[in-house]
Amino acid sequence: MKASDVRAMTPDQLTDELAKLKKEQFNLRFQKASGQLENTARVRQIRRDIARVMTMLRAPSAGNRV
């Protein structure tokens, strides 16, 4: 997910995306623990996507975007 994609989202969309990403992160942790995780880079990618979304949610202008 690109930062420009995240900036284009509304606060409600960001909240939904954050929930989706956290659920995927949870599933990836279980796959890793059981030895079924194939794409280990996905864990890092999800973690960074969560950080991007949370940064935009905390931004003071998050509610003022067009």
| Phi and psi angles of residue 30, each rounded to the nearest 5 degrees, phi first | -65, -40
22-32 pLDDT, tens digit each: 999 999 999 99
Pair 57, 63: CB distance under 8 Å:
no
Q: What is the 3-state secondary structure (H, E, C) of the chain?
A: CCHHHHHCCCHHHHHHHHHHHHHHHHHHHHHHHHCCCCCCHHHHHHHHHHHHHHHHHHCCCCCCCC
pTM: 0.84
Whether residue 44 has pLDDT greater than 70: yes
Amino acid at 23: K
